[in-house]
Structure 1
C-alpha cells in the first residue's frame, strides 16, 4: 500500500473516528486514502476551526481526533487550534502535508520546518522520513497524546513519501494504566486532611479528564470539605450540593475567593495551574497544598505542594476515602457564600433592562436548558460571566477554554459536540468579536444538519479588553468595530435567525431555538456596563 494509506490504516487501528481539516496539494494521497477509510473526514472552512473541532472532540470523549492541513499557510493556520488543545489538555493528532524531501534543504515554495514550528505547541512531534516507520510514529503519537496529561501531537508527512509503496502493519494498541500513589503518600495526605481545621478542595480540569467526579463526590460527602471549581473544572461537584462553592477564576476578590482566605489546607484535585494562577488565590504562598493529580506538581512559589498524591486520580481518591476519618465541619460560612452568589443571579431573573444584562442572559439560558445540555463559551467578557454564573450539575456540560483561551473556539466546538451527542442540546455562547473569527464554520453545521444554537452577545467591540482598560485607565482604546447584519449573515448560511427585541423575549426565543431541530442564531444586545459594576462590587466584598 501507499505510505498515506498505511498512515490512515494505523489511525483507524488506534480508534480514530474523525479527521477535521482542509485538503491541499501536498496531502492529496491522504485525501484519496480516506475515501476507503472508516474515518469520517469533515471538510472545514479554516484550519483553525478544524483543530478546535478536534480539540473539543478530545475533551468530550477522552479519545483523540485528527486534524489535517497542508504545508505552509495551511499548517500555520492550524497552529493556534493545536496549541489551544495542547494547553487545554485535549488529545489531538495534528497532521500536516509537507514539501517533498528533495527540496527541504533549500528555500522553497511554501516550505517551513513544521516540526520546529509545532514543537512548542505539542507534547511530541516528528516527520515521517521512511514509510516503514509509520506504525511506530502513529502509535507513539497516539500514546503520548492520550497519556496523562493529555494533549496534542503532530505528524508531518512529505508529499513524495506519501505516494511511495510500503509493506508494514499497525502496531498493537497497548492500554496503559496510570499508577496509584504509594501508601506512604496516601498516609501523609490523610494525616494532613485529618488535622486541617478549614480544608478546601480546588477541583480542576483533571477531575473530568479522568472521569473522577463520582469519586470526588464520595470523598466530599465523607470529609465534609467544601469545593471550589476552576473554570474548566465545572460540574465536578453539582452546584446544588451544599459543599459546592461554585466557580472561581476572576481576578480580584469575589464571594468564592473568601474560601481561600479561610483555608489552612488546599486540596488541589486535578488542577492545572494554567487554569487559574496560584498567585491569585494563594498570594503569599502561605497555605500548604495537597496536590492530587496524574503528574507531579509544577514548581511555583505560590503553590507549595507539601504532599503529592500522584497517579490515577479516581483510584487515589478512593484510597484516601477509605483511610480518612469521617468528619462533620462547621460550614456555615459556605452556606453564606453560596447564598450571596446564588441570590445575585436570582435577582436578575426578572430584570427588564435593554440591552440585556449578562446576569439576565445567563439566568434565562440556565432556566431553558436541561442538565445534559452542552454549553460552549467562547473567549471574551461573556466568558467571565458564564464562568462565574452558569452553574452545572455534571462535568463537561459547560466547556470553557482557559489554557491558551483562544477566541473563536465556540462555534467549531459546538459543531463537534453535536456530532458526538446528536440528542443533546448544544449552545455556543459567543461575543461578536470571537464569533466572526470562526463564523464560517456555520456552513459545516448546515451541511451536516447539526442543530446547534449560537447565542451571540453583541456589543460591537472587544468587551473584555475594554473592561480591563476601564479598570486600569478609566477609558478605553481602539476596541470598537463594525458588525454585519448578523440575521442576514446567519440566514445566508442556512441558519434560522432571530434578533432579541426586548428582555422579555429572550427566554421564549431560547426555548424555541433548542426545539427547532435546525441550526439557529440568536442576536442579543448585551449591556456591558455591568462589567465595571461587578468590579466595584468585588472591591467591596468583605469576607
Structure 2
C-alpha cells in the first residue's frame, strides 16, 4: 500500500475517530487515504482551532486528539494549540505535511524546520523519512502522548514519502504502561507526616482529574476529614457540593480559601503541577510540610520542595495511603466557617437592579446546567471568576486552560466537547477570546453540533485592564470595539440573545442550554 494508506490504517488502529485540520497541497495523499477510512476528517477554519479541538478532545476522553496542518504556515498555526496541550497535560498528536525531501536541504517555498520548531512543546516528534517507519512512528506518537503525564507529540510527513509504496503493516496497540505502586518506606513517612499534622489540607491538581482518581480521593477525604482545595484544572476532583470542598485556591471574595491554606501545616498535593498555580502564592513562607503524590517527581522549586514524594500511579497511591491513615482525622472547626462563606457566595444571586457581571451570571448558569454538563472556559477575567465561583460537581466538567492559559480555546473546545460527550456543553468566553476563533462557529454548524456560547462583553481585554489599574490606577492598550454579536451570530444561522434583565438572562439560559442547537448569549457588562 502507499505510505499514506498505512498512516491512516495505523491511526484507525489507534482508535482515532476524528482528525481536525486544514487541507493542504502536501497532504493530498493523506486526505484521499482518509476519504474511505472510518476516520472523519473535519476541516476547520484555522489550524489553531483544529489544535484546540484536538486538545480538548484529548482532555475529555483520555485518548489522543489528532490535528493536522500542511507545511509552513499550516504548521506554525498549529503550534499554539499544541503548546497548550503540552502544558495542560492533554494527549494530542499533531501531523504536519512537508515538501519533498529533495528540496529540504536548501531554501524553498514554505519550507521551515518544523521538527525543531515543535521540539520545545512536545514530548517527542520526528519526521517520517521512510515509508517503512510509518507504523513505529505512529505507535510511538500515541504511546507517548497518552502515557502519564500525557502531552503532545508530532509527526512530520513529507509529500514524497506519502506517495511511496511499503509492505509494512500497523503495529498492534497494547495495554497502557502502568506506573508501579509507591515504595513502603515513602508511604510510611507520608502517613506519619499527615497523621502528625494538626491542620492537614489536600490540594487536588489536574492529575487527580486526569487519572480518574476521584473515588479514592473522596474516600481519603471522608476518612481524614481534611479540607480540599483544587487548582483551576483540578476542579471537580472532589464535588464542590461536598462539605470538605473549599473550591479552588483563590475561592472566596474575602480570601476564605486562602485563609484556610494559611492555617494549614501540612499539604497532600495530588496530581499537582506547579505550572497550574504558582506555589509561592500558597506557600509563601515555605513553612508547610508537603507530601507530593504524582506519576513523576516534583519540579525543583524553593516554594515547592516536598518532604516526601510518592512517585507512583495516583489511584494506587491514594488507595495505599488509605490503609496507612486509619484513625487519622482532623476536626472541621478550623475551616467550616470559610466553607460556609464560600458556599453562600457562589449561590447568592444578584439584586434585580444590579448591573450584569460574570459573578452574577454564574448562579443562573449553574442552575441551568446538569451536574454532568461540560463548561469550557476561555481565558480572561471571566476565567478567574469561573475558576473561583462556579461549582463543579463531577470531574472533567469544567475545562479551563491554565497551563499555557490560551485565549481563543472556548469555541473550538466546545466543538470537540460536543463530539466527545453526551451531556450539554457551554462555551464561556470574553469578547476578546471569542473573536480569535469565532469562525469555528461555521465548523460547528456544518457538523450539526449543539452547544451554548456565552460571550461576556466588556469591550476590553478586561483581565489585563484590571491588573493594570491595580498596579498603576489606569489602563492602556486594552480597549476594543466589537461587532453586534447578536447579528454576527445570526449570520451563521444560529439563535442569538442579548438579555437586558437578570430574569431574561435566567429564562434564556434555562431554555437554550438543554437544546440540541447552537445558541449565543451575549452578557454585556461594565469594565
TM-score, with structure 1 as normaliser:
0.95
Give CA deviations for 1:152-208 in whole Å, capped at 9, x if unaligned: 000000111111111101122222122111111111111111111111000000011
Q: Which residue of 2 aligns with 1:536?
A: none
Deviation for aligned residue 1:253:
7.8
- Compare 173-182 and 340-349 and name the one that shifted more: 340-349
Quick check: 2:50–2:412 contact (8 Å CA) kept in 1? yes
- The count of corresponding residues between Structure 1 and Structure 2 is 526
Q: Which residue of 2 aligns with 1:66?
A: 66
> CA 1:371 to 1:521, structure 2 compared with 1: closer, same or farther past 3 Å?
same
Note the 1:325-340 alignment, pairs <5 A.
325-340=326-341
Give CA deviations for 1:351-382 in whole Å, capped at 9, x if unaligned: 4323x022211111011111011001100000
Quick check: 1:54–1:66 contact (8 Å CA) kept in 2? yes
SS of equivalent to 1:129: coil
2 CA distance for matches of 1:28 and 1:261? Answer: 58
Note the 1:45-444 alignment, pairs <5 A.
45-175=45-175, 176-249=177-250, 254-354=255-355, 356-421=356-421, 423-444=422-443
2 CA distance for matches of 1:343 and 1:238? Answer: 16
Deviation for aligned residue 1:336:
0.8
2 CA distance for matches of 1:252 and 1:418? Answer: 33
Quick check: 2:233–2:276 contact (8 Å CA) kept in 1? yes
Give CA deviations for 1:417-447 in whole Å, capped at 9, x if unaligned: 11112x3110000100000000000011111
SS of equivalent to 2:375: strand
Quick check: 1:445–1:452 contact (8 Å CA) kept in 2? no
Give CA deviations for 1:4-43 in whole Å, capped at 9, x if unaligned: 1111111111112211000000111110000121111111
2 CA distance for matches of 1:413 and 1:167? Answer: 38
Quick check: 1:249–1:276 contact (8 Å CA) kept in 2? no
The question of 1:36 aligning with 2:39 is answered no
> CA 1:129 to 1:16, structure 2 compared with 1: closer, same or farther past 3 Å?
same
Quick check: 2:348–2:363 contact (8 Å CA) kept in 1? no
2 CA distance for matches of 1:412 and 1:504? Answer: 29
1 CA distance for matches of 2:202 and 2:414? Answer: 30
1 CA distance for matches of 2:28 and 2:351? Answer: 56
2 CA distance for matches of 1:516 and 1:138? Answer: 39
Deviation for aligned residue 1:343:
2.1
Quick check: 2:85–2:92 contact (8 Å CA) kept in 1? yes
Q: Which residue of 2 aligns with 1:13?
A: 13
Q: Which residue of 1 aligns with 2:490?
A: 491
Deviation for aligned residue 1:249:
4.3
2 CA distance for matches of 1:80 and 1:123? Answer: 15
SS of equivalent to 1:118: helix
Quick check: 1:251–1:280 contact (8 Å CA) kept in 2? no
1 CA distance for matches of 2:68 and 2:108? Answer: 21
Deviation for aligned residue 1:252:
11
Give CA deviations for 1:448-498 in whole Å, capped at 9, x if unaligned: 111110011000110000011010000000111110111111111121111
Deviation for aligned residue 1:503:
2.3
Give CA deviations for 1:102-121 in whole Å, capped at 9, x if unaligned: 11111110000000110011
2 CA distance for matches of 1:256 and 1:181? Answer: 30
Deviation for aligned residue 1:147:
0.8
2 CA distance for matches of 1:241 and 1:196? Answer: 22
Q: Which residue of 2 aligns with 1:522?
A: 521
Quick check: 2:244–2:339 contact (8 Å CA) kept in 1? no
Give CA deviations for 1:94-141 in whole Å, capped at 9, x if unaligned: 000011101111111000000011001111100011111111111111
Deviation for aligned residue 1:504:
2.2
The question of 1:22 aligning with 2:11 is answered no
Unpaired runs of 5+ residues, structure 2, are none
1 CA distance for matches of 2:352 and 2:141? Answer: 51
- Compare 454-463 and 510-519 and name the one that shifted more: 510-519
Q: Which residue of 2 aligns with 1:540?
A: none
SS of equivalent to 1:256: helix
1 CA distance for matches of 2:171 and 2:212? Answer: 27
> CA 1:252 to 1:290, structure 2 compared with 1: closer, same or farther past 3 Å?
farther
